[in-house]
Amino acid sequence: MNLHFLLDAAKTTAKSSASSTLFTVVYLVVILGVMYFLLIRPQNKKKKEEKKMREGLMVGDEIITIGGIYGRVISLKEDTMVIESKSDHSKLTISRWALQQNLTVHDDTAK
């Protein structure tokens, strides 16, 4: 009789162990899903919007750099641009990635 009790206890322990493992896997999947939707997806969306803004930049646009310099785009190249500062009209060559905000509103409905 003692042997049957031990076998039943072992079966119960094995079932609860499998149940616990399944719960752990489901819990990890849920946590990873929440992390994706709260952290990774918004960051990727922001990168796409920044890339679109930099690609849509045109000569004559009013911009702000990441350093806080206000200026107007004078010329564009593949990786750099020349801007003219608002205060003293000096010309600066900066990288395109240094663009923080485009202040000029373009009519996107024409596209």
- For 63-96, write each residue's pLDDT tens digit: 999 999 999 999 999 999 999 998 888 999 999 9
Cα–chain-centroid distance for residue 35? 13
In this structure, the answer to whether residues 105 and 63 fall within a common structural domain is: yes
Number of separate domains in the chain: 2
- Domain extent at residue 90: 58-110
Tell whether 50 and 93 lie within a shared domain: no
Helix, strand or coil for residue 89?
coil
6 band by pLDDT with thresholds 50, 70 and 90:
low
9-53: per-residue pLDDT in tens?
666 666 667 778 888 999 999 999 999 999 999 999 999 999 999
Q: Are residues 62 and 51 in the same domain?
A: no
- 2 lies in the same domain as 45: yes
Residue 109 confidence (pLDDT): 44
Judgement on whether residues 44 and 68 belong to the same structural domain of the protein:
no
Contact 83, 67 (CB under 8 A): no
44 shares a domain with 19:
yes
73 and 48 in a common domain:
no
